[in-house]
Amino acid sequence: MNFKSVIRAALAAAAVSAVFSFQALADYATYSSSGDLPAGSAQESSGTPGVIYAPGVTPGHSGTPQGVVTDYSYLYNNGNTAETQTPQAQPAPAPAVLPEQAAQPETAPASSAAAPAELPAQEPTDAASQQTQAAAQTGVDGNPNLIMSNGRAIDVTKPMVALTYDDGPQTNAGNRIMDVFARYGQRATFFMVGDRVSSRAAEVQRMVAEGHEVANHTYSHTYLNKVDAATIRKQVTACNDIIEQVTGVRPTIMRLPGGNKNSTVLQNVNMPIILWNIDTLDWKTRNAQSTINAVVGHVHDGDIVLMHELYDATATATETIVPTLVGQGFQLVTVSELAAIRGVQLVPNQVYYSFK
């Protein structure tokens, strides 16, 4: 090969490289503008670059949510007679705890009472719901114990728990929490304060897009046992309104700030009230290992775990809790999924602590 041939070959290679580089930049711009990678301030990113998503998990978009389940009637009566497997506890590795983020803690709730008796399952009454339920009962890939919900399969014969996060949205911790759920194809429930939603719309839209449940925690984190009936209704409705405005999904469950309630609250919330039976006290300790220790080795099938989205330490704990529980055989589901699979029709103004 003479000198001119070498020059021609080099120029041709450079031209091809330039074409691919230009296309890669164009693809990145398109991907970024869709909300999957941060386009602008990292503080309001709807996703974290480099996250590897589990099979079937689609990263969040800041646009209109698609395929979001808000009617769980198709899950009723699935697996209620099957024997539930008991997971084998395994020791959890201790992560390095990051410096704690200063944030206003939520007041500790009063001691949880025993869970109420389960209510009878309500059969779907419309033809569409009946068809959906019938399809769910046929199973997935020939397995009658598998049902599809929020973009992944749930085995109704295996243990499941609901990890819940209060007081958000909080972009940094929230996106870290969703990142680890995405890696393992699991789902969580976020009880959010309404007046924090609009300024963190991308994060909240990501919750919906990735199949998490968005839920009500009042509009301004008001202790409802200290206000009148009209204020209770206003706090609940305003929170539902802003979440629906931002995501297109209206919450169907709520949690009382601090777990505080009285007879006026229980007559005016007009939504199912979800409390918890495992309190990590992460708001108090703000220590990742303490939060891990409160969950791993203590959680059982049907439990509802309380954590808070405000703290980096809680996000760090989640990065160990999720893979550890999955490794022990637990499925991490939303509160509404857990209730529906257990055949519990959630009733407004009824208080629920777990679904065992």
Look at residues 167, 227, 156, 222 and name the one whose alpha carbon lies nearest to residue 200.
Answer: 167
Give yes or no for a contact between 248 and 208, defined as CB atoms under 8 angstroms apart.
Answer: yes
Residue 300 annotated among the catalytic residues of the structure: no
Residue 166 annotated among the catalytic residues of the structure: yes
Say which of 61, 217, 221, 308 is annotated catalytic.
308
Give yes or no for a contact between 126 and 305, defined as CB atoms under 8 angstroms apart.
Answer: no
At 167 the three-state DSSP class reads strand
Say which of 36, 61, 166, 301 is annotated catalytic.
166
H-assigned helices in the chain: 3-33, 127-137, 171-184, 201-209, 229-247, 263-268, 282-285, 288-295, 312-327, 335-341
Number of other CB atoms surrounding residue 284 within 10 Å = 13
Look at residues 306, 290, 296, 285 and name the one whose alpha carbon lies nearest to residue 352.
Answer: 306
From CA 216, how far away is CA 236, in angstroms rounded? Answer: 7
The set of residues, in sequence order, having a beta carbon less than 8 Å from that of 234 and lying 6+ positions away, is 219
Question: Angle at Cα 189 formed by Cα 323 and Cα 199, nearest 5°?
Answer: 110
Number of other CB atoms surrounding residue 56 within 10 Å = 11
By CB atoms closer than 10 A (0-12, 13-18, 19+), residue 209 is buried
Catalytically annotated residues: 166, 308
